[in-house]
Structure 1
């Protein structure tokens, strides 16, 4: 049910003042809605989800010798490198890339992965947007009205 407001307006100046105040109130409410929507959607971005769930404890790092995330990276990284970057290369090149990327994969753990992700994310940071002036449509009393 819509709330009906009753205003005590006696002349044209009070009417124009009330229209301006209602426009200002509308702008403030619109800005608050946009800001609330942005903060709500920001919690579901990829970066925020990775910060929330890509912690060292979530990668089951029991101790320094048993690090599951680095074991997975030492297996997956050579496959990714050989299937994407070095697709058309020979057997020797693929073997050397597999050995090197396997060693690099063992040194990567959750802290290194999150640091790499944050540095790449900072390269593609938020871009400045130009604010457009809001154009008002005045549905009030037309200037050629008898009350003007």
Structure 2
């Protein structure tokens, strides 16, 4: 069975965020770090080369594949901010009120924080942190 490549690295999260090329995405990354730390009460940890995660949870699929992943996370990618959140009741309702975004197979994509309702995003992150639901994969 393949080993999960996305693991905590111990790399400096502040240095990673400071190195984000796009100035808006860099500023949004710092703002999201503060939001996620406030909600989770956990310090930011770099998982793999580019995912900023908070807390961790163990998962096991029916196939037998298992591993650890952040409970909630985001990544300031080149094209978008990517959110890795747990599913919870009301997810679709929150997305309808969020603002400009794209929802992929299991992740949420936002170009910049100014495009979305901050209160709705904060509520989504809080619900995801408190949820025991299945994680986005």
Structure with more of its chain in strand, by fraction = 2
TM-score where L is the length of structure 2: 0.25
Choose between structure 1 and 2: higher helix proportion.
1
Taking structure 1 as the reference length, the TM-score comes to: 0.23
